[in-house]
Structure formats: C-alpha cells, structure tokens
C-alpha cells in the first residue's frame, strides 16, 4: 500500500485559556484527499483545534505543519499566504457573512485581498446559485443559501484544505443533505482535503474516511470510520455512539445504552474521562494514557493495551 501524503501534521499541541486546558497534547495527521471527522460533546475542544489550525488562535505549545512547513509562528505575509491554502466554513453563515455587503462584494473581497483573478458569477454557479443573487444582502437568503455563499467565498482563493466547523447544525434536515452533496461534489472536482467537525454522528459516518473522538481537550480514539462505528473501543466512544438513534424501532428498543454519570474530575493529571469511565482504576486518575495503536486504530486507554 502506497504511503499517504500528509497535508496537516499536529504534534503535541496544547492550548490554555487562563489556566484552563482547551487542548491537551493533540497529535494527529490529516492526509491528502481524505475527509477526517472530528466528534465529541460540546466543550471538548473541537472548534479550538480548528481555529488553531487556521491560526485564528495560537497554540500555547506544540507544533503545527502544513505540507511539511511549520505554521504555528507565522506572521503577517506568510500567514496571509497560508490562509489562501487553508479555509474555514463556520457553523452560522449569518454571523460569518458581513450583513452590510452584497454577495458580489463578499465573493470579491478574498480575490482582492489575495490579488487573484476570478468571477463572482462562476463562484456562485459552482455552489448552485445564479447571477441574480449577486446584488442581494445576506439577510435576503435562507440558511441553506447563506451556507452556499459561505462555501463559495471559501472556494474563491482555490484552497487545498477546507475546515468545516459544524456546517450543518443550523440547517433543516433536507437542506443538510443538499450541503453534504455540494461538499462532496466540490471535493471530488477540486481534490480537496476536509476536516469536518459535527455533532451529527450519522452524518460523520456517511461523509468521513476516518474519525477522531475528543473529550475535554484530548483525543480518545482515532480510527477508520466504519471500524469505529462497527466496533468502538474507547469507553467514551462507546457512550457517544450509543446515543445515536437507530432507524429500526425494534432494534432501537432492544439495544443497551451507555449512561454516563455527571461527576467532577478528581485530578487533572490522569485520563480526562476517568471521572466518568466505568473501567477507571487508580492509574486512570494519576497517569494520562498515550494514544497507542490497538487493533488497527489509535486508542488512549490504559485498559485496552495489548
């Protein structure tokens, strides 16, 4: 099997906010052409990791690489050049689009910033909209249309890596499917690499090649999508996936769900999940487990070591 080309490399990245650890020793590779899903409950650090990658926030420590070049300490002009190659689509397109600008102005702005040639009409056409929308303002569109405009803006500078931070959560289910199809179409045409952050675990399973699971700023498990969903190994992954409803009411009624108790952490030194984990022992509260290769996936758990 040919070795995959690494586009993004994250090495032991930490991020603290006033003494609170938002990211804890994150190490992760994202490969060219793949779609990596990032899941975990609210507050697990998913969006912080995305903003760190795009350099909207700086890591407290650790190293970030894009196509082999270190990016964690870039300033001004090099950072501007990086952001042409890495773009982000946010959860709420109404908040991320300037309400005082027309669609034409929104799409022209990144072209002007990076001194690129391009057509707002062509960009809109790529996301299934037409030139009649160019002179309208964001408030004149539906949520799905606004998200299409946000995608068109991200594509304007011809990026190689696209971060989608909860791109579906503000949309109706039928519109979600349209945006998913659009992202897949664009990825195939432009050969893009995706990092998709989402709460919808069924959507992540459908879209992603691999899935990374986060809890309280740390990676718990990383595995190929089908492997993770078919046989989750980390206790937190099992609890997370047990909350995903099954369309068959008979199977849904029979299956057992993992109920996690709400408990305060006993220590900041051990596994972030130890205070809620049914397998936890003393070592879990005193020593943080490393991500180790277990049965073709990486798992951070003392009790799953071969």
- With respect to residue 99, please indicate whether it lies within any of the assigned structural domains: yes
Whether the Cβ atoms of residue 26 and residue 9 lie closer than 8 Å to each other: no
- With respect to residue 247, please indicate whether it lies within any of the assigned structural domains: yes
The set of long-range contacts for 99-106, using a CB threshold of 8 Å and a minimum separation of 24, is 99/137, 99/138, 99/139, 100/137, 101/137, 101/138, 102/134, 102/135, 102/136, 102/137, 103/133, 103/134, 103/135, 103/136, 103/137, 103/138, 103/149, 104/134, 104/135, 106/138, 106/149, 106/153
Mean pLDDT of 244-256: 59
- The more confident residue out of 172 and 86 is 86
Q: What is the pLDDT of residues 36-46, one digit of tens each?
A: 999 998 889 99
Residue 250, pLDDT score:
56
The CATH number of the domain holding residue 224 is 3.40.50.300
Whether the Cβ atoms of residue 147 and residue 155 lie closer than 8 Å to each other: no
Residue 1, pLDDT score:
46
Residue 199: pLDDT band by 50, 70, 90 thresholds?
Answer: confident
Asked if the model's pLDDT at residue 295 lies above 80, the reply is no
Whether the Cβ atoms of residue 227 and residue 294 lie closer than 8 Å to each other: no
- With respect to residue 1, please indicate whether it lies within any of the assigned structural domains: no
Among residues 183, 198, 230, the one where a domain terminates is 230
Specify whether 11 is located in the same domain as 129: yes
Residue 173, pLDDT score:
85
Residue 246, pLDDT score:
63
Among residues 210, 230, 250, the one where a domain terminates is 230
Order across the sheet with 61-66: list the strands. Answer: 20-31, 6-17, 61-66, 69-70
Asked if the model's pLDDT at residue 248 lies above 70, the reply is no
Mean pLDDT of 141-159: 94
In whole angstroms, what separates CA 128 from the centre of its chain? Answer: 24
- With respect to residue 75, please indicate whether it lies within any of the assigned structural domains: yes
d(CA 287, CA 302): 9
Specify whether 39 is located in the same domain as 87: yes
Q: What is the pLDDT of residues 56-92, one digit of tens each?
A: 999 999 999 999 999 988 888 888 889 899 999 988 8
Specify whether 74 is located in the same domain as 94: yes
Residue 169, pLDDT score:
80
d(CA 35, CA 184): 10
d(CA 17, CA 23): 10
Question: Tokens 């650890």 appear where?
Answer: 21
Instruction: Count other C-beta atoms under 10 Å from residue 114's C-beta.
Output: 15
d(CA 113, CA 142): 27
- Identify the DSSP state of 260: P
Integer-rounded Cα radius of gyration of the chain: 20
Helix or strand or coil: residue 13?
strand
Whether the Cβ atoms of residue 72 and residue 64 lie closer than 8 Å to each other: yes
Specify whether 41 is located in the same domain as 103: yes
Among residues 212, 230, 248, the one where a domain terminates is 230
Residue 141: pLDDT band by 50, 70, 90 thresholds?
Answer: very high
Asked if the model's pLDDT at residue 258 lies above 70, the reply is no
Provide the whole-model pTM.
0.91
Specify whether 249 is located in the same domain as 175: no
* SS (HEC) of 162-210: EEEECCCCCCCHHHHHHHHHHHHHHHHHHCCEEEEECCCHHHHHHHCCE
Total domain count for the chain? 2
Torsion-angle region of 18 (φ positive above 0: left; ψ -120 to 50: alpha; else: beta): left
d(CA 214, CA 23): 10
Q: What is the pLDDT of residues 213-234, one digit of tens each?
A: 999 999 999 999 999 999 999 9
Mean pLDDT of 91-114: 92
d(CA 79, CA 147): 25
Share of the chain above pLDDT 70, in %: 91
Specify whether 95 is located in the same domain as 23: yes
Which domain covers residue 270, as residue numbers? Answer: 232-306
Q: What is the pLDDT of residues 202-212, one digit of tens each?
A: 889 999 999 99
Mean pLDDT of the chain: 89
Specify whether 252 is located in the same domain as 303: yes
């Amino acid at each position: 099997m040919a070795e995959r080309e690494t586009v993004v490399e994250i090495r032991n990245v930490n991020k603290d906010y006033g003494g609170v650890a938002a990211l804890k020793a994150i190490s992760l590779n994202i490969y060219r052409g793949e779609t990596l899903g990032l899941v975990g409950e609210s507050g697990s650090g998913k969006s912080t990791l995305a903003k760190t990658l795009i350099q909207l926030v700086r890591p407290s420590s650790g190293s970030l690489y894009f196509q082999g070049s270190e990016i964690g300490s870039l300033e001004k002009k090099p950072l501007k050049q990086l952001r042409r190659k890495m773009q982000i689509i946010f959860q709420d397109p109404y908040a991320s689009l300037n309400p005082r600008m027309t669609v034409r102005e929104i799409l022209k702005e990144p072209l002007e910033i990076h001194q690129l040639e391009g057509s707002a009409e062509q960009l809109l056409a790529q996301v299934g909209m037409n030139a009649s929308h160019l002179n309208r303002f964001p408030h004149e569109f539906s949520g799905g249309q606004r998200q299409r405009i946000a995608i068109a803006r991200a594509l304007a500078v011809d990026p190689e890596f696209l971060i989608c931070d909860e791109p579906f959560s503000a949309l109706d289910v039928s519109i979600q499917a349209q945006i998913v199809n659009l992202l897949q179409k664009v990825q195939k045409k432009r050969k893009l690499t995706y990092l998709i952050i989402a709460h919808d675990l069924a959507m992540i399973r459908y879209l992603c090649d691999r899935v990374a699971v986060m809890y309280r700023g740390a990676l718990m498990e990383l595995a190929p999508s089908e492997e993770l969903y078919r046989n989750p190994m980390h206790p937190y992954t099992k609890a997370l996936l047990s909350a995903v409803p099954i369309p068959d009411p008979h199977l849904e009624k029979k299956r057992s769900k993992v109920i996690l108790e709400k408990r305060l952490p006993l220590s900041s030194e051990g596994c972030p999940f130890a205070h809620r984990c049914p397998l936890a022992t003393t070592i879990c509260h005193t020593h943080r487990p490393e991500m180790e290769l277990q049965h073709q996936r990486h798992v951070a758990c003392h009790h799953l070591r071969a």
